[in-house]
């Protein structure tokens, strides 16, 4: 195990799922990567990976006496992909605290774990990925409200001992130097990259493929590859990391 990252934002629709898969595919060139849809209430990673009709998903694993994680792990696009289902009943039946065990088990079999995280901080299932992660990638759109929401995620992450991997600006049009300069002042960690607005992102989603599989030569794909290079995952002792996940204290959400 090298490191677990949460890909989070505060705001919805900033590009967390797109970014999780793009960073995952880029890192998979060098590392053994597992991506997990930890947005268990509003899952959508399955649709970005052609797994819309997957038989077993993370929801089944999070049930009391549920399926083993292997049953919900699919080899896709050079990564191990753990999708989550979209049924509200399954979300309600799932026990979010079991995510600790899932992440601990994955820690022993993969190098880099990317947790696609929920937009809110409003429930146990929503805060867990941020609390469990070693570092948080904060995905922002270049607007002041997005920065403000991202700062709440940062504050929350830091208060639970998770570090900030850096900020990733997505759907960027034109010069956003003034916004990234502001972000640099308030966010920990480096600017990981600025991903341009790209029609290829929507087309990839419609095709059920990650951006780096659907349009590897697009400027957005190149920007994600560069951002993945800045991430520089760290080596951690697999057993120590797994123990930490297993014994993580799950806070009451703010
Ligand atoms: N760089 C981009 N250029 C254009 N469209 C993009 C870009 N990145 C993402 N999108 C589009 O924006 C929408 C939201 O992206 P995505 O689903 O990755 O966001 P999210 O943060 O995971 O959303 P949610 O909070 O709903 O989980 C999608 O339709 C996606 O195709
Ligand atoms: Mg998403």
The secondary structure of 2-33 as a DSSP string is -EEEEEE-SSTTSSHHHHHHHHHHHHTTTS-E
Residue with tokens 């299932």: 125
Instruction: Kindly report the pTM of this predicted structure.
Output: 0.96
Beta strands at 3-8 and 135-140: parallel, antiparallel or unpaired: parallel
Domain total for the chain?
Answer: 1
Q: Is residue 118 part of a domain?
A: yes
Round to the nearest angstrom and report the end-to-end CA distance of the chain.
30
- In whole angstroms, what is the distance from residue 137 CA to residue 187 CA? 11
Per-residue pLDDT of the chain (254 residues), as tens digits, is 679 999 999 888 999 999 999 999 999 999 999 999 999 989 999 999 999 999 999 999 999 899 999 999 999 999 999 999 999 999 999 998 899 999 999 988 899 999 999 988 877 778 889 998 999 999 999 998 899 999 999 999 999 899 999 999 999 999 998 899 999 999 999 999 999 999 999 999 999 999 999 999 999 999 999 999 999 998 877 787 788 888 887 777 66
Q: Which helix (H) or strand (E) holds 170?
A: strand 163-172
Note whether residue 201 is domain-resident.
Answer: yes
Q: Please indicate, yes or no, if residue 243 is contained in any of the structural domains.
A: no
Say if ligand 1 is within 6 A of residue 86 CB: no
Please indicate, yes or no, if residue 74 is contained in any of the structural domains: yes
- Between the CA of 43 and the centroid of ligand 2 the distance, in Å, is 7
The answer to whether residue 225 sits within a structural domain is yes
- Confirm whether 249 is domain-assigned: no
Question: Could you say which ligand is closest to the alpha carbon of residue 14?
Answer: 1
Burial (CB count within 10 angstroms: exposed 0-12, middle 13-18, buried 19+), residue 151: middle
Q: Bridge-partner residues for 163, per DSSP? A: 135
Compute the distance between CA of residue 160 and CA of residue 140 in angstroms, rounded to an integer: 21
Q: State the distance from the centre of ligand 2 to the C-alpha of 216, rounded, in angstroms.
A: 21
We report the CATH number of the domain holding residue 60 as: 3.40.50.300
Ligand 1, atom nearest to 12 Cα: 25
- The CA 155 to ligand 1 mean position distance, Å, reads 24
Residue 193 is assigned to a structural domain of this protein: yes
- Residue 212's domain spans which residues? 3-234
Q: Is the CB of 110 under 6 A from ligand 1?
A: no
Ligand 1: does its nearest atom lie under 6 Å from the Cβ of 28?
A: no
């Amino acid at each position: 195990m090298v490191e677990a990252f949460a890909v989070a934002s505060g705001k919805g629709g900033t590009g967390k799922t797109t970014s999780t898969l793009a960073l995952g595919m880029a890192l998979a060139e060098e590392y053994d990567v597992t991506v997990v849809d930890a947005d268990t209430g509003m899952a959508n990673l399955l649709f970005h990976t052609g797994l819309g009709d997957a038989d077993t998903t993370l929801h089944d694993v999070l049930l009391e006496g549920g399926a083993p994680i292997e049953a919900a792990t699919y080899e896709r696009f050079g990564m191990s992909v753990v999708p989550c289902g979209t049924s509200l009943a399954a979300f309600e039946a799932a026990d979010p605290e079991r995510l600790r065990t899932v992440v601990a088990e994955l820690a022993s079999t993969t190098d880099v774990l990317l947790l696609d995280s929920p937009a809110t901080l409003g429930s146990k299932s929503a805060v867990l990925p941020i609390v469990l992660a070693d570092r948080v990638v904060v995905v922002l759109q270049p607007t002041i409200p997005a920065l403000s929401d991202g700062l709440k995620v940062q504050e929350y992450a830091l208060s639970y001992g998770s570090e900030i991997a850096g900020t990733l600006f997505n759907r960027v049009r034109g010069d956003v130097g003034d916004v990234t300069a502001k972000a640099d002042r308030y966010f920990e960690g480096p600017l990981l990259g600025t991903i341009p607005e790209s029609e290829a992102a929507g087309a990839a989603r419609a095709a059920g493929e990650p951006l780096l599989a659907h349009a590897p030569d697009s400027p957005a794909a190149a920007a994600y590859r560069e951002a993945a290079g800045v991430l520089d995952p760290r080596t951690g002792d697999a057993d120590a990391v797994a123990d930490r996940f297993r014994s993580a204290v799950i806070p009451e959400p703010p």
